[in-house]
Amino acid sequence: MRSTTLKGPIGTIHIIEASPPGTAGESEPLPVVFVHGMAVSANIWEAQLARVARTRRAIALDMRGHGDSARPEDGNYAPASCAADVLAVLDGLGLDRVAIVGHSFGACIALATAASAPHRIAQLILADPPGDFTKVPADVYEERIVPYQRALETEDWAAAVENSFNEALTGSRADTRDRILTCLAATPQDCLCGMSRGMFAFDAVDALDRYLAAPGTRAHAIIAPSNTFPFSLHVLRPTLTTSTLPDTGHWLMLDAPEAFARELNICLEGV
């Protein structure tokens, strides 16, 4: 695997990439770009990069404020702004068209990227995407989301985020839990607050609809068993095909890397 940096809208973007052996040719399948979620970095995808790179080029980004990529001085982590970072990487690598895999908040970024440039995204793969919080009933939003948002701005922010992550880790392996909570403890408040604000304000259904309205587009979600909320993306849009990985929590690519790789290969067939 190779590590390098590219210029993005707010500064340096760090990427990890891997390629299959041999010489690239015109018939080479499209590359795959991996986008991580909150509190982790590109190396969360190392196992999947290695698998995909057996047959095609694979790239993973450190999203803004994570890993070795620049932090936004204005605290802007909106999915549309992060999508501009993804497109900057595609431009920097000379990639006209790719498949994209986004996990958690990274699924929001992947959706925003696909909606803004559908001609560049041949296949959209959403790994346990969050629900569309703009579709949560107002009373539920006031009761559950608003108090959490307020807690993020207080001295109790770390405990609030850890409680949220522990809920998402239900069903996860012990080593996955340890890895994610270690990453979370090292993530600054402004990053977690910014991404949370961006996620809660993001109209995921609209982004999915705009992407799929373009010709030649495909989308699929690989989900954990717990992703069954009324505002889950595949519940709001039943036409979005899904596959469920049993015995996994939210970080399903860590809990079941082989099963995730198999689903990923199925999604990438013909791309």
Q: Is the dihedral of CA 247, 252, 254, 257 positive or negative?
A: positive
**Residues 211 and 124: beta-carbon distance below 8 Å:** yes
User: What token pair was written down for 19?
Assistant: 């390629």
For residue 219, give the amino acid letter: A
* The predicted structure's pLDDT at residue 24: 52
* The predicted structure's pLDDT at residue 26: 53
Over the stretch 200-229, which tens digit does the pLDDT of each residue have?
Answer: 999 999 999 999 999 999 999 999 999 999
Neighbours of 252 (CB within 10 A): 27
pTM of the model: 0.96
User: What token pair was written down for 145?
Assistant: 């989301």
Q: How far is CA 106 from CA 60, 67, 194, in A?
A: 11, 14, 13
Over the stretch 56-85, which tens digit does the pLDDT of each residue have?
Answer: 999 999 999 999 999 999 999 999 999 999
Neighbours of 271 (CB within 10 A): 16
- Chunked mean pLDDT (size 10), the chain, 271 residues: 96 97 70 98 97 96 97 96 98 97 98 98 98 95 94 94 95 97 96 95 98 97 96 96 97 98 95 90
User: What token pair was written down for 79?
Assistant: 């999915």
* The predicted structure's pLDDT at residue 270: 87
State the pairing for strand pair 11-18/2-8.
Answer: antiparallel
Please tell me the distance from the alpha carbon of residue 271 to that of residue 267, in angstroms, as a whole number: 8
* The predicted structure's pLDDT at residue 25: 53
Phi-psi region of 175 (alpha: psi -120 to 50; beta: other; left: phi over 0): alpha
* The predicted structure's pLDDT at residue 140: 93
Neighbours of 213 (CB within 10 A): 10
